[in-house]
Structure 1
Amino acid sequence: MPRLHRSLLCTGIATAGLSLSLASHAEGLSQIATFEVHHNLTAELDPETTVTAAEIITASADGTLLIYTDSPAERLGFIDITDPAAPTAGGSLALEGEPTSVSVSADTALVGVNTSSSYTSPSGFLGVVDLSSRQLNAQCDLGGQPDSVAISPDGSLLAVAIENERDEDHNDGELPQLPAGDLVMFDLAADGTPTNCEAPRHIDLTGLAEVAGDDPEPEFVDINDAGQVAVTLQENNHIVIVDGTSGDITDHFSAGSVDLEQVPTEKGSLTANGQLNGLAREPDAVGWLDNQRLVTANEGDYQGGSRGFTIFSTDGSVIWDSGNTLEQFALEYGAYPAGRAGKKGAEPEGIEIWKERELILVGLERAASVAVYRDMGTNQAPQFMQWLSTGVGPEGLLAIPQRDLFVVAAEEDDPEAGLRSTVNIYQWQQTPPAAEIIGADDNGEEIGFGALSGLSVDSNGQALLVSDSVYPEARLYQLELSSMPARIRDVTPVSDADGPARDLDLEGIAPAAGGAWLVSEGNPEQGRANQVLGVDADGNITERFTLPEVVAERMTRFGFEGIAALPGTDQGGERLAVIFQRALEGEEGRARLGLLDPTSGDWQFLSVALSDPLSPVGGWVGFSEITPLPDGRLALLERDNQVGERAALKRVVTISLEDATPVGPESTPPLLETRELVDLLPAMAESQGVIVDKPEAMSVDGDTLVVITDNDGVDDSIARTRVLRIPLPEA
């Protein structure tokens, strides 16, 4: 579990026993492009209001065309990746129902389509789509609601899992809820079209599982080289092996359960000190490693979630189980969905097997990530290789071996917020980029982090970070910036007289003798005041300052966002400069800069001009951080609240206090104009991922400007935390 804690000011770096994440790999996957799938919407649909999604994804035989299911729009979408680094919209095909899964054989896409009128009257068809014309040429009745489809490696068989899913609002979601699901098999011609469209083989799966055996709900299917179909019955916690040609059930077994230690179990927590026993695996996706071994992503369902993945033999023996390692990697990479800690954690859902490179790729729905492992062979534990950040809600994983590509379809789409469903494209390369930041102590054990909101680097090069109110416990992190990736080496809780402080929203940090200065953003709606806090080396709060009432009563919820310690002058001692995020009531177009004398507690004020929004959808612009520059100016992070293609303003500006005359709280403060120092958008776009909303923390390390992004604790946001290192421009 994370170590809490050593002193904030401890020094010395140990190199023994460091995390595997600090090791570099000669080969791996690099993200080369992101495609926002709203670009495939037809002209009559407004992309700013229409929900769309890429869920399950496949590719044409030559790997130049991606085909994905779009459930909200009831369409099949197409993306041209002739140049994988520059994907283009390929249009879409309207279907008469909700597509749930798709696979390709020859020049034919076979898609499961749900047309159910209710949970008790499930129905659906197999759509046969000609990829040359991109037209629906045939429909094969399935007799129920399809979930997953899979084609055998030789292209002769198609398996369809008919789930007939349960109503989670009925009887608290408990099974049984008939009608039962089954497995449907089709024979395929050389062109990929079904030869038994009118009479597919239905394989009864009832009476097998110990859990609700009369109501099997098949979830996912995969077929191996021998024509064996692996079927997961997720809610039944069972796996069935079927001979795809004869329809005979050759093996079936319970997926079993696991006991977990050192995992977060309290909502909002990043502390891996929980224990969970007897968790049913309840597997979702399944993939064949070879004809004797299969691997499952154990998402869990109504009985919880075992938070890992498992390699089984065909007789049901567990060859290897990941245990708590996915949870710990999610913590280490700052991708842990703490809001889900009390439920299913990182929630592994997808599996893809890239046999040519001996890779197991595990999609983590709630962590917005994919864990990459190398299959080391029979009876061997797989080797962790990489952690990939994806779009939000990775659902479909696809290896395209003939082009050395890997693709992830991420389904979450929120047009109003600008967070769009994406398809991320990765390429196998000799020198993939390393992670930019991890959390690992000197023994190599994970330290969970996220929602990083303030950074300070002192004159000795010691860096400290804070995270915001996404987590109930206020935290300070010790950051080693000199390593690649940057490494969080220790964590210290902020404490008051009653123990760990829990009513803070830390947004900024500045060095202080023997400790640090912090700012906590207030929220009038929650009765929380904006505060400047002094803490000692152990994180204990020693001083508190709030705003004068005449200013505090005009505050909105966009309050304190950064703090900088200014050196003393002949006229007085140290001052603390506190930047507000947005305008006070009645002061539109500007944000306050408060100057606090920590000796007397007196405040003075200036105002700083805010830019107008540049995004075509508007939004707002505010400041996120303040830090001193070596020449005496102050640098401010200025950003809009837009994400992805809507993002238009993410930059660093400067102000000078040299000729400024601050005033007291009763007066109107003079206005300071800003000058642009750095446009951050080019650096933020270099990763080829979605441009995130919040460059949030900033400081100067020698001749380098360091900017760190805030991932909102992986709450419907991109999980990746960026660390931008930008040579400090000259004045």
Structure 2
Amino acid sequence: MSLKLLGMTSVIAITATGAAAEMNFNRISNFATFANNQDASAESSAEIISASGDGMTLVYSDSPLGVIGLIDITDPTAPLAKGNIDVGGEPTAVSVLGNIAMVGVNTSESYTAPSGMLKAFDLTTMEEVSACDLGGQPDSTATAPDGSFIAVAIENERDEDLGEGGLGQMPGGYVVTIGIENGVPACDSMVQIDVNGLADIGPNDPEPEFVDVNAAGEIVVTMQENNHIVVMTQTGEILNHFSAGSVDLTEIDTTDERGALLFTQTQEGRLREPDGVQWIDTDHFAIANEGDMDGGARGWTIFNKDGTEIFEAGNSFEHAIVQIGHYPDKRSDAKGAEPEGMEFAIFNDIPYAFILAERASVVGVYDVTDPSAPVLTQMLPSGIAPEGAIAIPSRGLFVTANEADLIEDGGIRSHVMIYEYQDAPAAYPQLTSAGADELIGWGAISGMVAGEDGIVYAINDSFYSYQPTIFTIDTTVKPAQITNAMPVTRGGFAAQKLDLEGITRDGEGGFWLASEGRTDRMTPHGIYHVNSDGEIDKEISLPVELLAVERRFGIEGITLINGTLWMAVQREWADDPANHVKLVAYDIETSEWGAVLYPTAAADTGWVGLSEIVAYAGDVYVIERDNQIGDNAAIKMVYRISGDQMVPALLGSELPIVSKEAVYDLIPDLQAGNGYVVDKVEGLAIFADGAAWASTDNDGVDDSSGETFFWSIGTF
């Protein structure tokens, strides 16, 4: 569905404006892995990804299906499915050299009897052309830049459910190199490299995790669980090895209490336990410190191959994630954002390191011209759980593979995201707290209201039920900036267990807030008045007539019209006709309640309801949306209700049904980011001059990509 604007001018915030900007990576398309599958309903996943020599075909490992998937990116703005190749086991990694895809395949019968193969497939014929027995369970692979050999990390991973899940489970791992002849691995050239006895932690149970090869043919290997790094030659000479070390972290959130962002805690001596590793020149390499057993330093590090630490990100990468609303609070007690994968490439003579935060679903782009002082240039939105990445500088492309497939939960599927290096402004983020006087964590933005001079006030919902907050957002800068976060308090303490979904100004410096509530485990649906300091000074419960018919999905917005508060109820309650929801009225002076009925569209799949209500110029505007995501999303609309229809009838009487006029289709704007369409459009703010802004709820980065869309939708 697409509508023309009626008397409005569209200004999409992610559209480049003004003079030419410096070079930036911007997402230009996406590809859902299920498009390659015969059974689209089967679980599927893009994990490690590589590209053909000409840069026209992407190849990703799909562990759930036991295949490698192929994507035609001849036109990178319109990727096409090229099908799957069955690899006869679990693919753990893929490296493409020319037109040959070399795949690490796990064929293990058990943890104690690991086995695996390196198989090679011709991408033109899609036939197997080589298969080498590795003698153990492979993890990552990497080809030498000159194409002379491939290195394979043989992890022989431990059973995490056995005992305490620690090291000491035999057999230990090792590294394999295999020469490449005529573009194909030559199995008889295999060298098995012993890394036993090198690490201080679990020396007899090495678990090589990730490998990379530099231009000198030197191999760097991370042993994550052992917190160790080894540098070696193709023939097995150990050039150096050293501990990955530890980091003293400050100003981080280490509590697992859902519902509060508390960046006031520390972790001293946190083991790095690196996963991904990439050479950035022949002397330096970078590691992503994801952590596994006892560590996870939440950042990344650059070492000289002699073991000298050159750069440590500390908390800075995670703080950048916090500022764009991507911090995964539910992982606070574990490893935070979990930097896992990484990539390195040179674009326009600038060396870039790409750091993938698995749990934050974001990629940090760093200029590493000076390895001792990398500069963060961008934060790129990815799909859920970026696992692998590949850069194609010859075509100006960067690609991520995102492994999470939420088919069982009705969520978004696993995706590959494609970005282009452009002479254009960065399209993301659209909302940030960077530049504020202090570190402001945020997420799950729900209701909004316009203030003065381009200021929008927004609230977070029950994901942060222990930290309800009113955010001040400056829309006059780009990206829009959160400049202040005011706690909502009761008796001087955070007003816990609220599900704030609506906010409106009271005209006297304070606010009225609507809480959706949930009577089975939270505060019931209700209205709250807060003063200019955020302190609750009045609480109003819904009347018995409404509580008698209430359901979980309640108030989703609030606005003020001539002394009457109007609230939108998201979905039908027990006494509502099918495809009708209530707009509930509360007269502040008389304390009288009333309502009208609003007709929603009928849902083909899922449900359709309301998520915001705003009064402007004598009329009322609502957001009506379905709960569908990606290609299934069909309804994300702004409708207008004439103000003369907003005459409430008494509760218990027959409620009048208002009529609605479609004024704006939000889906084209959501598609303009070249990712997938998110489901929760929940915020709408209209300024006195008619300038309107919309926003989405990122669910606190819980089974969500974490992306927040915050953009102008023109002038009403």
Please give the range of the TM-score, normalised by the shorter of the 2 chains.
over 0.9
**2:412 is equivalent to residue 419 of structure 1:** yes
**2:504 is equivalent to residue 515 of structure 1:** no
Whole-Å separation in 2 of the counterparts to 1:465 and 1:527: 21
**2:631 is equivalent to residue 663 of structure 1:** no
Task: Report the CA distance between 1:599 and its aligned residue.
Answer: 2.7
Instruction: Pick one of 88, 94, 107 that aligns with 1:102.
Output: 94
**2:697 is equivalent to residue 710 of structure 1:** yes
| CA deviation string 1:72-109 (max 9, x = no partner) | 01111000000011100011111211101000112211
**2:679 is equivalent to residue 693 of structure 1:** yes
Whole-Å separation in 2 of the counterparts to 1:597 and 1:703: 26
Question: Which residue number corresponds to residue 533 of structure 1?
Answer: 528
Task: Report the CA distance between 1:482 and its aligned residue.
Answer: 1.1
Whole-Å separation in 1 of the counterparts to 2:127 and 2:520: 54
Question: Which residue number corresponds to residue 341 of structure 1?
Answer: 332
Question: Which residue number corresponds to residue 247 of structure 1?
Answer: 236
Q: How does 1:403-552 map onto structure 2 within 5 Å?
A: 403-416=395-408, 417-434=410-427, 435-443=429-437, 445-458=438-451, 461-471=454-464, 472-497=466-491, 499-512=493-506, 513-552=508-547
Work out whether residues 692 and 718 of structure 1, in 8 Å CA contact, stay in contact via their aligned partners in 2. Answer: no
Instruction: Pick one of 48, 52, 60 that aligns with 1:60.
Output: 52
Task: Report the CA distance between 1:319 and its aligned residue.
Answer: 0.4
Instruction: Pick one of 621, 645, 648 that aligns with 1:635.
Output: 621
Instruction: Pick one of 674, 677, 701 that aligns with 2:660.
Output: 674
**2:24 is equivalent to residue 28 of structure 1:** yes
Question: Which residue number corresponds to residue 13 of structure 2?
Answer: none
Q: What is the one-letter code of the residue matched to 2:320?
A: F
Q: How does 1:586-625 map onto structure 2 within 5 Å?
A: 586-587=575-576, 588-614=578-604, 618-625=605-612
Whole-Å separation in 2 of the counterparts to 1:419 and 1:116: 31
Structure 2 SS opposite 1:409 = strand
Instruction: Pick one of 283, 287, 291 that aligns with 2:282.
Output: 291
Whole-Å separation in 2 of the counterparts to 1:138 and 1:315: 36
| CA deviation string 1:540-586 (max 9, x = no partner) | 0011111111211211110010000112xxxxxx0000110000014
Q: What is the one-letter code of the residue matched to 1:423?
A: V
Whole-Å separation in 1 of the counterparts to 2:452 and 2:52: 56
Question: Which residue number corresponds to residue 76 of structure 2?
Answer: 84
Task: Report the CA distance between 1:458 and its aligned residue.
Answer: 2.8
Residues paired across the two proteins, number: 687
**2:141 is equivalent to residue 155 of structure 1:** no
Structure 2 SS opposite 1:693 = coil
Q: What is the one-letter code of the residue matched to 1:74?
A: G
Whole-Å separation in 2 of the counterparts to 1:348 and 1:411: 15
Whole-Å separation in 1 of the counterparts to 2:102 and 2:453: 62
Whole-Å separation in 2 of the counterparts to 1:660 and 1:93: 60
Task: Report the CA distance between 1:200 and its aligned residue.
Answer: 1.7
Question: Which residue number corresponds to residue 358 of structure 2?
Answer: 365
Q: What is the one-letter code of the residue matched to 1:521?
A: E
Structure 2 SS opposite 1:563 = strand
| CA deviation string 1:200-245 (max 9, x = no partner) | 211111100000000000100000011111000000000001111x
Task: Report the CA distance between 1:724 and its aligned residue.
Answer: 2.2
Task: Report the CA distance between 1:198 and its aligned residue.
Answer: 4.3
Instruction: Pick one of 585, 598, 603 that aligns with 2:574.
Output: 585
Structure 2 SS opposite 1:62 = coil
| CA deviation string 1:3-28 (max 9, x = no partner) | xxxxxxxxxxxxxxxxxxxxx96111
Of 135-144 and 366-375, more deviation after overlay is shown by 135-144
Work out whether residues 106 and 190 of structure 1, in 8 Å CA contact, stay in contact via their aligned partners in 2. Answer: no
Q: What is the one-letter code of the residue matched to 1:102?
A: V
Task: Report the CA distance between 1:602 and its aligned residue.
Answer: 2.0
Structure 1 SS opposite 2:239 = strand
C-alpha root-mean-square deviation of aligned residues, in Å?
1.4
Whole-Å separation in 1 of the counterparts to 2:387 and 2:712: 32
Task: Report the CA distance between 1:427 and its aligned residue.
Answer: 0.5
Whole-Å separation in 1 of the counterparts to 2:202 and 2:262: 36
Whole-Å separation in 1 of the counterparts to 2:532 and 2:541: 22
Of 71-80 and 700-709, more deviation after overlay is shown by 700-709
Whole-Å separation in 2 of the counterparts to 1:660 and 1:185: 74
Whole-Å separation in 2 of the counterparts to 1:421 and 1:691: 14
Instruction: Pick one of 259, 268, 275 that aligns with 2:266.
Output: 275
Work out whether residues 329 and 446 of structure 1, in 8 Å CA contact, stay in contact via their aligned partners in 2. Answer: no
**2:553 is equivalent to residue 558 of structure 1:** yes
Task: Report the CA distance between 1:661 and its aligned residue.
Answer: 3.8
Instruction: Pick one of 684, 694, 719 that aligns with 2:706.
Output: 719
| CA deviation string 1:695-715 (max 9, x = no partner) | 111011233220011100111
Task: Report the CA distance between 1:389 and its aligned residue.
Answer: 0.3
**2:323 is equivalent to residue 332 of structure 1:** yes
Whole-Å separation in 1 of the counterparts to 2:574 and 2:28: 44
Q: TM-score, normalised by structure 1?
A: 0.92
Work out whether residues 270 and 331 of structure 1, in 8 Å CA contact, stay in contact via their aligned partners in 2. Answer: no
Task: Report the CA distance between 1:459 and its aligned residue.
Answer: 5.1
Name stretches of at least 5 consecutive residues in structure 2 with no aligned partner. 1-19
Q: What is the one-letter code of the residue matched to 2:158?
A: R
Of 583-592 and 488-497, more deviation after overlay is shown by 583-592
Question: Which residue number corresponds to residue 633 of structure 2?
Answer: 647
**2:307 is equivalent to residue 312 of structure 1:** no
Question: Which residue number corresponds to residue 15 of structure 1?
Answer: none
Whole-Å separation in 2 of the counterparts to 1:403 and 1:667: 66
Task: Report the CA distance between 1:460 and its aligned residue.
Answer: 5.3
Whole-Å separation in 2 of the counterparts to 1:67 and 1:659: 57
Task: Report the CA distance between 1:199 and its aligned residue.
Answer: 5.6
Q: What is the one-letter code of the residue matched to 2:474?
A: E
Q: 1:199–1:224: structure 2 CA closer, same or farther, 3 Å change rule?
A: closer
Work out whether residues 706 and 723 of structure 1, in 8 Å CA contact, stay in contact via their aligned partners in 2. Answer: yes
Task: Report the CA distance between 1:660 and its aligned residue.
Answer: 4.7
Q: 1:121–1:668: structure 2 CA closer, same or farther, 3 Å change rule?
A: farther
Whole-Å separation in 2 of the counterparts to 1:91 and 1:709: 34
Work out whether residues 545 and 601 of structure 1, in 8 Å CA contact, stay in contact via their aligned partners in 2. Answer: no
Structure 2 SS opposite 1:150 = strand
Work out whether residues 54 and 98 of structure 2, in 8 Å CA contact, stay in contact via their aligned partners in 1. Answer: no
Q: 1:461–1:159: structure 2 CA closer, same or farther, 3 Å change rule?
A: closer
| CA deviation string 1:430-476 (max 9, x = no partner) | 11334211013543x43111100011113554321100111121111
Whole-Å separation in 1 of the counterparts to 2:97 and 2:645: 72
Give aligned-pair identity as a percent: 41
Task: Report the CA distance between 1:497 and its aligned residue.
Answer: 1.9
Work out whether residues 612 and 622 of structure 2, in 8 Å CA contact, stay in contact via their aligned partners in 1. Answer: yes
**2:135 is equivalent to residue 135 of structure 1:** no
**2:156 is equivalent to residue 164 of structure 1:** yes
Work out whether residues 326 and 346 of structure 1, in 8 Å CA contact, stay in contact via their aligned partners in 2. Answer: no
Whole-Å separation in 1 of the counterparts to 2:572 and 2:48: 44
